[in-house]
């Protein structure tokens, strides 16, 4: 199903998913082979995780999605004794997978090049953002976060000059550029201290993911006040993307996590 869904527009995909629901009501089985974590979370009752043709596990969608993310970042202990069971031992399958892997690698490299050119940065560089990344509720680095779970937004900042009270910030916006939310250490009253030149600070904002399923962009900043003057030391716009994996989307950007109760009167 994955290939058919990937080439269709949103209306075609909606028809397909509606048909899936009809099939499920009839007791039929639908198999989807996909990397689309949101679709897997929303439509699948059971998931089989494969890696290089070897079955790693089978279980509930959330459990297998967590394992999949761990495989991607090399934090999953892969089996060594099952290599002879791999589907990739078939020469034709091996060749097809190799071709697909090369295409995926090329696509990732092209995406990375585009992201580099899209990222806008500026500032005095008295403080410089050296690293940015996300972690899930297990502390695993990832760009996919399950809606409703806790996650961290991290930035590592090196200070080239001594500064009186730097402010660390992030914002989140849609892929189309609409700013949705954001905060900083001044708003949170979390850090209002001077920093000496040569210092490196690791900053982590931890929160619950309440955004609807989809892709979003993150921007980062280190700013501050020197007297009455506001200064930008370093800002990175559209520097990181996050995919929110959801099995339930409501209206708008946020899910209010409503609890529903219906009573007879």
Q: What is the CATH number of the domain that holds 178?
A: 2.70.50.60
Residue with the larger pLDDT of the pair 71 and 202 = 202
Q: Are 39 and 1 in contact (CB under 8 A)?
A: no
Report the domain count for the chain: 3
- Whether residue 248 contacts residue 43, with contact meaning beta carbons closer than 8 Å, is answered with no
Do residue 98 and residue 61 come from a single domain?
A: no
253: in domain: no
Residues 216 and 103 in one domain: no
**Residue 261 scores a pLDDT above 90:** yes
Whether residues 26 and 38 share a domain: the answer is yes
Do 106 and 148 lie in one domain? The reply is no
Does any domain span residue 164? yes
pLDDT at 30: 84
pLDDT score, position 221: 97
Q: Are residues 70 and 21 located together in one domain of the fold?
A: yes
Same domain, 110 and 129: no
CB-CB contact of 22 with 51 (8 Å): no
Segment 200-228 mean pLDDT? 95
What is the average pLDDT across 106-121? 63
Query: Does residue 262 lie within any of the structural domains?
Result: no
Tell me the CA distances in angstroms from 222 to 35, 162, 212, one per residue in order.
35, 13, 28
For the cut 80, the answer to whether the pLDDT of residue 247 exceeds it is yes
Q: Is residue 14 part of a domain?
A: yes
pLDDT for 234 beyond 60: yes
Shared-domain flag, residues 68 and 153:
no
Asked if the structure places residue 196 within a domain, the reply is yes
List pLDDT tens digits, range 118-136. 568 999 999 999 999 999 9
pLDDT confidence of residue 201: 97
Whole-number pLDDT of residue 4: 58
76 — pLDDT class (breaks 50, 70, 90):
confident
Q: pTM score, two decimals?
A: 0.70
126/149 same-domain check: yes
The pLDDT of residue 133? 97
Asked whether the beta carbons of 16 and 5 are under 8 A apart, the reply is yes
Residues 28 and 136 in one domain: no
Same structural domain, 240 and 130:
yes
The answer on 73 and 109 residing in a single domain is no
**Confidence (pLDDT) at 112:** 57
Question: What domain range is 113 assigned to?
Answer: 86-118
The predicted model gives 58-69 an average pLDDT of: 86
Shared-domain flag, residues 146 and 201: yes
Residue 154, domain member (yes or no): yes
């Amino acid at each position: 199903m994955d290939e058919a869904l990937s080439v269709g527009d949103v209306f075609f995909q909606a028809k397909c998913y509606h048909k899936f629901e009809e099939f499920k009501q009839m007791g039929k089985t639908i198999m989807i082979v996909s990397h689309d974590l949101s679709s897997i979370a929303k439509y699948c009752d059971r998931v089989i995780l494969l890696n290089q043709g070897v079955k790693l596990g089978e279980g509930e969608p959330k459990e297998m999605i967590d394992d999949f993310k761990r495989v991607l970042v090399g934090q999953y202990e892969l089996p060594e004794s099952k290599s002879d069971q791999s589907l990739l031992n078939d020469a034709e399958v091996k060749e097809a997978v190799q071709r697909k892997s090369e295409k995926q690698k090329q696509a990732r490299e092209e995406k990375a090049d585009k992201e580099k050119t899209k990222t806008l940065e500026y500032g005095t560089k008295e403080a410089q953002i050296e690293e940015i990344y996300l972690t899930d509720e297990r502390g695993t680095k990832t760009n996919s976060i399950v809606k409703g779970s806790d996650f961290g937004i991290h930035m590592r900042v090196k200070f080239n000059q001594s500064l009186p009270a730097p402010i660390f910030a992030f914002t989140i916006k849609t892929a189309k550029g609409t700013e949705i939310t954001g905060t900083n250490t001044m708003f949170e009253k979390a850090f209002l201290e001077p920093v000496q030149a040569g210092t490196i600070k690791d900053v982590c904002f931890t929160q619950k993911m309440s955004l609807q399923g989809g892709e979003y962009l993150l921007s980062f900043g280190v700013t501050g006040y020197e007297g009455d003057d506001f200064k930008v030391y370093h800002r990175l716009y559209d520097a990181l993307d996050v995919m929110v994996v959801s099995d339930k989307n409501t209206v708008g950007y946020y899910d209010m996590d409503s609890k529903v109760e219906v009573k007879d009167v």
